[in-house]
Amino acid sequence: MNAIKSLFTALALIVLIGSACNDNNQSPCVSEQDQSAVFQNIADNLIIPGYDDLNTRLATLQSAAQAFTGDPSTQQLEALRNAWKAAYLSWQRVAQYEFGPAEERQLRAFLNAFPIETAAVETQLNSGNFVFDNAETFDKGFPALDYLLYGTGATDADILARYSTDPLAGNYKGYLTAVAAQMQQLVSETLQAWTGGFRQTFIANTGTAAGASLSLLINALNEHYELIKRDKLGIPVGAVTLGFPNPDKAEAFYAGIFAELALEALRASESLYLGRAVNGANGEGLDDYLQQVAAKQQGQDLHQLIVDQFEAAIEALEAVPDPLSETIATDKALVEAAYVEVSEQVRLLKTNLPSQTCIAITYIDNPSDSD
Amino acid sequence: MNHPLVHRLLYRPLPIAPLVTFRILFGGLMMIGALRFMQKGWVERLYGEPVFFFKYYGFEWVETLDVPGMYAVYSLIALSAAGIMLGFAYRWSVLLFFLSFSYAELTDATNYLNHYYLVILLAFLLFFIPANRRFSIDTRLRPSLALTHVPAWTIHLLQFQVGIVYFFAGFAKLNPDWLFKAMPLAVWLPEKAGIPVIGPLLALPAAAFAFSWFGAIYDLTIPFWLFIKKTRPWAYGAVVVFHVLTKMLFNIGLFPFIMIFNTLIFFPASTHHRWLKYLGYHPGEPCIKEPTTDNRQPTTTPILLALHIVIQVLIPLRFLCYPGNVLWTEEGYRFAWRVMLVEKNGYATFFVSDAATGRRTEVINSRFLTPFQEKQMAIQPDFILQYAHFLARHYREREGFQQPVVTVDSYVALNGRPSERFIDPGINLADVLDGLGTKKWVLRY
């Protein structure tokens, strides 16, 4: 038994040495913040009003599409384009909530898979059969409308001709209405699912487990933020493609409003983090939760670092004029600078936010066992 | 070598039953493990999806087969494991199992697990241990092979190997994060708050501390409790409870079963006889074939055993040769029974530029790595280096870069701390050679 005794002595010794070296003693993962209050604010003041707004704007878009197909005039085209743009901006505010009802419907894939594959669109146009049930194809949603309303001709007159004198005019009209109808359908279903019961589930689903609402929000924020970085900026700007810009791969390439859309998406990320309602009121958000953990990095408040970085990124992106193809030719440095500022935020959101709030990044799943 | 105590420890004849149990359970479990691996579709996910595979230092030459090839490997693992279980062509089965299993593990270091390493070590040892010499197909076919007793070292060696896993797992837990911050259990336990009965308790901060301390003491001391006759039944009860609990809480696959089965090796033959008889096992006549009369062994066996023991003790301790916190640098981290010690979030952005043309690009990691590989890469320096070398080669051969310079902007958050820069961003990783020396380009914590 002597061996055991000396083992315990050694153990006690090591423990003592360890406690002497120990830097700080704050208990991790414990936040005083009421999670449900955060979820309620985000559901009632960001997500549901967001889907509601998108739903309304898609309804407007649908009636504008009907008016346009009935009367393919310059005025109606203008009205339809405005309705499309308003809906597209509205979409940017909810695109990040790809969990629960939106995830079930693969909303992002069906509404905004870009860049559009014009060949796939042309195939559908020629066939006259409009089937958009494959989430993997790039021939539907907002990007399809971008092409149909801005990209099918060099001038507005050419585009109008597609819907009036073109032999396939009927198909063009059919495509337009079919795309708009599908978007409206999916969004109205998502909205109904949220108001019809998911809201309650979401608010009550507290804790830090994978699949709890806090985990859903932090993962959703991260996943979408990385999409903003890569798809909305990195690829079009050329940062990830050897410095060769690809303006044709930008979001809304034909309408040429990539910066406007990216800015709206970035502001939406910031809103989710802050818990900032559509009307600007700053309610309880992820920031309140993080601040309760009161984490610091090199003496700086982590919350403040994230807020500052959002501001820097938004400011840099605000300086980028549309359309991208022109900005790249005249002032490429502006776009590159915006990309750097947007990128800087990823590590804060992806390493600090989860580690401080004790949330696992689960949109990367472990395909095997662990130990 | 002829000291009576050493002689007794190594060559005292002991009934073979513990080895028979060990062989059957080990082979059976490994067979189920390989079948489970295939059935879960992991062959496609782990070998079909990636285009790039991480390797262990010194084993960079190992090529990964395609999906049908890997299915063949896993089938071979299952078959040879069945051979071990049944004691059929035992030595060939063990050899085949050892080779096929080791190969499967060497194909992608991303999937490193301590218990896979343990399986490889046990298979290696079984090759020298005559666990098939009773109650096996081999002895059915050739009754002359049958033994009732084996030299004691065959059993003690397995006890040592199992014991060292626990001891070093406990040793690794003696770090400030584990003991005084209850990290990473303080993160992982509240995630399980939803499980019935004990769930709500797990969310309490005290639970993480209780689990951490109990876990450390358990790991450090359980081999000794298992070895001492008086405490053995209690110790085994603790083994079962501990591993069932970890199985409920964590996604650790077969590990709990491996340990619950392996620790039976600590029980005397009488216990094994009691249970094995239900399978139709008979201990045999007490006529003892005295293996010590074999005069070829005594010189080499003790030397080889001593060598194995020394190596097994030194490998987990090699981290002491590297400066800094092993949890951060991961130098000397693997093969040291560091189980469930860290919660790390990493993020690594690679840049490749061409000194000749001035071209520069950021790398989209998802082009080359699966999400799981990317996640593992971002927290392990040797993976970061391997990936950087792969990028240099890719951009040289496919993108026309003449002198690719690869740098990385990487951050890691360790055990609930804010993230810190991980790798020196000014270093051209394309020029850095991997080695066993200190990785100076890993920033110290």
The range of the structural domain enclosing residue B376 comes to: 343-431
pLDDT, one tens digit per residue, over A136-164 is 999 999 999 999 999 999 999 999 999 99
The overall average pLDDT reported for chain A is 90
The model's confidence at residue A14, banded by pLDDT at 50, 70 and 90, is low
Tell me whether A333 touches chain B (CB under 8 Å): no
Query: Mean pLDDT, to the nearest integer, of B436-443?
Result: 94
Burial bucket for residue B217 (CB in 10 Å: 0-12, 13-18, 19+): middle
Residue of B nearest to A359 (CA): B187
The overall average pLDDT reported for chain B is 93
Contact at CB, A15 and B251, closer than 8 angstroms: no
A22 vs A26: CA distance, rounded Å: 11
pLDDT, one tens digit per residue, over B118-155 is 999 999 999 999 999 999 999 999 999 999 999 999 99
Contact at CB, A21 and B205, closer than 8 angstroms: no
Q: How far is A23 from chain B (nearest CA, A)?
A: 9
Q: Is residue B32 part of a domain?
A: yes
Q: How far is B252 from chain A (nearest CA, A)?
A: 5
Identify the helix (H) or strand (E) that includes residue B421.
strand B420-421
If asked whether residues B289 and B410 sit together in one domain, one would say no
Q: Is residue B440 part of a domain?
A: no
pTM recorded for the entire structure: 0.90
If asked whether residues B98 and B205 sit together in one domain, one would say yes
Contact at CB, B347 and A4, closer than 8 angstroms: no
Q: What pLDDT score was predicted for residue A107? A: 97
Q: What pLDDT score was predicted for residue A29? A: 65
Q: Show residues of chain B in contact with A296, CB under 8 Å.
A: 418
Q: Which two tokens stand for residue B165?
A: 């896993």
Contact at CB, B347 and A358, closer than 8 angstroms: no
| Structure-model confidence comparison of residues A298 and B6, the more confident one | B6
Q: Is residue B352 part of a domain?
A: yes
Query: Mean pLDDT, to the nearest integer, of A63-81?
Result: 97
Decide if pLDDT at B395 tops 50. yes
Residue of B nearest to A223 (CA): B371
pLDDT, one tens digit per residue, over A264-302 is 999 999 999 999 998 899 999 999 888 887 665 556 788
- With respect to CATH, is domain A24-357 assigned 3.65.10.10? no
Q: Give the orientation angle of helix B17-39 with respect to helix B114-126, to 10 degrees.
A: 140
Specify the number of domains making up chain B: 2
If asked whether residues B350 and B315 sit together in one domain, one would say no
Q: Which residue type sits at B283?
A: P
By residue count, chain A amounts to 371
pLDDT, one tens digit per residue, over B305-328 is 999 999 999 999 999 999 999 999
pLDDT, one tens digit per residue, over B335-386 is 999 999 999 999 999 999 998 898 999 999 999 999 999 999 999 999 999 9
Residue B250 DSSP symbol: S
Which residue among B114, B372, B413 places its CB closest to the CB of A352?
Answer: B413
Contact at CB, A234 and B362, closer than 8 angstroms: yes
Question: Which of helix, strand or coil describes residue B361?
Answer: strand
Q: What pLDDT score was predicted for residue A4? A: 53
Residue of B nearest to A15 (CA): B174
If asked whether residues B90 and B56 sit together in one domain, one would say yes
If asked whether residues B139 and B260 sit together in one domain, one would say yes
- Domains of chain A: which residue ranges? 24-357
The Cα-based distances of A307 to A313, A317, A349, B193 in angstroms read 10, 15, 11, 31
Name which of A309, A342, A348, A355 to mutate to probe chain B: the one with the most chain B Cβ atoms within 10 A of its Cβ.
Answer: A355
If asked whether residues B171 and B204 sit together in one domain, one would say yes
Question: Which of helix, strand or coil describes residue A165?
Answer: coil
pLDDT, one tens digit per residue, over B164-175 is 999 999 999 999
ipTM associated with this complex: 0.86
DSSP strand E in B158-207: where? Answer: none
Q: Show residues of chain A in contact with B253, CB under 8 Å.
A: 368-371
Name which of B111, B114, B183, B191 to mutate to probe chain A: the one with the most chain A Cβ atoms within 10 A of its Cβ.
Answer: B191
| Structure-model confidence comparison of residues B368 and A31, the more confident one | B368
B404 vs B391: CA distance, rounded Å: 8
Burial bucket for residue B360 (CB in 10 Å: 0-12, 13-18, 19+): middle
Which residue among B252, B254, B419 places its CB closest to the CB of A355?
Answer: B419
Q: What pLDDT score was predicted for residue A295? A: 61
Percent of chain B predicted with pLDDT > 90:
83
**Chain A, chain B: beta-carbon pairs less than 8 Å apart:** 159
Identify the helix (H) or strand (E) that includes residue B360.
strand B360-362
B364 vs B376: CA distance, rounded Å: 16
If asked whether residues B266 and B350 sit together in one domain, one would say no
